[in-house]
Structure 1
Amino acid sequence: MHTLRLAIASLVAITLPALAPAGAADLTLYNGQAASSQPVTLVAHELAAPMQAGKALSLSGAGGSASVTPGQVDGQRHALVLRWEQAWYAALRLTPATALNLQMLAPHATLEFDLRVAQLEQGGIDFKMACGEACQRKLGYVVPGRAMQGKGWQHLSFALSCFARAGDDFSKVDVPFALEANGTGEVALANVRIVAHGKASQSCPDYRSIAFAPSPLNQAWAMPRWMQRHEQKLVLKQQLLSAGTPPQLVFIGDSITEGWEKEGSAVWQQHYAPYHALNLGYGGDHTENVLWRLQHGEVDGLQPKVAVLMIGTNNTGDRQDQPEVTAAGVERILAELRQRLPQTRVLLLAIFPREASANAVLRRINEQINVRLAALADGERVVFANLNSAMLDADGRLDTAIMPDLLHPQQRGYAIWAEAMQPVLEHMLASQL
């Protein structure tokens, strides 16, 4: 397990030039000029359209609605007002006709803009920047964004290094800024620019440690459901113990694991209910969220024979965490389980495939994580199993009949999972440490 810590240490240096040119000029991304020179794209779920100069734009579909209105807002002459309602995903993207070369600016530059939060009780926002081909870096801003509500215009300044990781390429940035949103809310944006030698006023998490810094899931769509589920699971755990039916099996993970209570419920009843199994899967969880839950009582007092752990696909899909970082988060979870469940064996599962093609970006990241997860197993206390081939066809493609959204299994997918896992799980349940 020390190899992962060394790998994380190797990511410390961002592979960008040491200094920006002394005479480097600031770069304006949006200040209200014509859309032809500073294009703005509005997105509402799977719909997207460019905004015409000086004209409002609205989009509406099954995934919610969003609109952008240019104009003066509380003294800001060239503002963009973004409103969204019941949106799974909405965004304002600055999309210049020619990709920008930010490579020489990145080490000391800042991304700066003015933001006015009018409504965010039922929504969330984050900021994103492209970082090369098929590379995007996101900063979540739900909690601080909600704290800004009703406080008027605020000037925010982020170091560009907040969006940079080892190996990123800032020489061809096609989306230098995006404001993303979900739920329901309203914000206004103005004066977006990159300052060559700026001073950051906002902090950002360290990408090298975020995956093992314990935290609740602070995403708008999950709050407060996530904490309610945590409290419910603590109560359920105590009920099982009080009834004299302590769980012999515990499943730990994200929405894929939580799905045993939904699409996989019939399969669960057949295979795992006899073990009084406890489902600790939470939709949206990253490795750091699982770690927080373990440190806040979810397995305390239990002595299951086996804990089945699969986590990490949201580290990939949400933040595109580097494989070393996600694997380090899983390593920390295993250490926490060893401390809290010393008599329990852990079945560590490879992260399931996602996206249709074997060459898809997120699929490849997950596979790189899985290689590292295999190295965390000792074959005795921690057993690694890669069940992914059971989910794929001969060409490595993922069928929508198994995962309709190419991420979450439906009933057939859960049946395949149970069947593929059964031999190793039965062996682990029958043997003792």
Structure 2
Amino acid sequence: MKHSDTDVIIAGGGLAGATLALALTRVAPALSVTVVEAFPLSADALPDSYQPSYDARSTALAWGSRLIFEELGLWHRISEHATPIQHIHVSDRGRFGATRLNAQEYEQRALGYVMDNRWMGLCLMRELLETKVQWQAPADVIDMTPCEQGVSVSLKIGNETSRLKAQCLIVADGGRSGLREKLGFQPSHHGYNQNALIANVSTSDSHEFTAFERFTEAGPMAMLPHGSPSRAGHESALVWTLNDQELKQVLAMSDSDKCLRLQERFGWRLGRFTRIGECNYYPLTLTTVAEPVRPGVALVGNAAHALHPVAGQGFNLALRGLMTLVEQFRLAAEQGRSPGDFQILRRYHELHSPDWQQTVQFSDSLIRIFGHSLAPVATARDAGLVGLDLLPSAKRLFARKAMGTGGRRAVINGPAASDKQ
């Protein structure tokens, strides 16, 4: 390889960027990695102990994502505050259609897990402190140009700018920084005319480690078990889909009125809603980039594809893509090739593309199918949910998608073994 300041620059040190950095140290340790992150980072800022906040934002991890974190040697830390999803209940609010998944049916301890984003980030930071990964923080990647060594990346550090040469730049800073567009990538956006309201809620009945996906006339609603990893509690993580007018109305309500509106929409499967925490929200848009790679640069995570949260597939899809990319980088290092070689990056895209296309289609089709209120369509989807619950083969396929074990997954230390079903 030609000389450069670092082999791989990762723009963004969030969950996707930090996971990628850690995976590269495990799978391709010959590569030097530099992470550029906009927020300041300090080992002194990491707490000695972690106390979960009621208002903490959370992420749903599929079983397949747990397997990846096990391979990276991180699961033992993450699992300390990972609430298992042992059951999934999918239903059409006010209608008879429903399907149920149970982890025991597939000889698994859980179908997935729910954990606070901050806890997952702290676990990644602690693990990365023990590696040779270099950090530029606070700093921003503001531009990139090709050069003899690969790419020359412009960094903004305070009021100063500097340049760093690398073999490859990975854009992992989400879709809102503008770096993706500045580098010439053309994302495609499809708005759903909906917003996701996110909050933690308490209910009179225990969640019994059950995740609920409720499709209502106003849009899908998810309720994920949250809190203790070992004792079924009364706290759930809510993802509530609302149009602009409804969102404005709900945000203006008192907490008690929010609980009443939520009760009306969700029903009584968790008993009475007794508390709702801090509400955050964001507009829902399906964003994809048809060609997320070019010589010396690749988009990953939300910078490459952002999904509707209806099926909780976003971060799990990103994680599988990261491992596919890491495996290609490992092969490149073994062959003495640059990780920014377009053939390497194009091969990554070819391998990951079927997974993200299927996942996008799966999530988008759920919105379209359950977004119709016409009686014939509603009757057909109710029959489909009942049929899914009764047909083992169809249900197994649905379970594999929910568990994140249907996509391509790179495995450390040897070829992938068949996922236990």
TM-score of the two chains, using structure 1 as the length reference: 0.22
> Quick check: which has more Rg, 1 or 2?
1
User: Which structure has the highest helix share of the two?
Assistant: 2
Structure with more contact order per residue of length (Cα contacts < 8 Å, sep ≥ 6): 2
TM-score of the two chains, using structure 2 as the length reference: 0.22
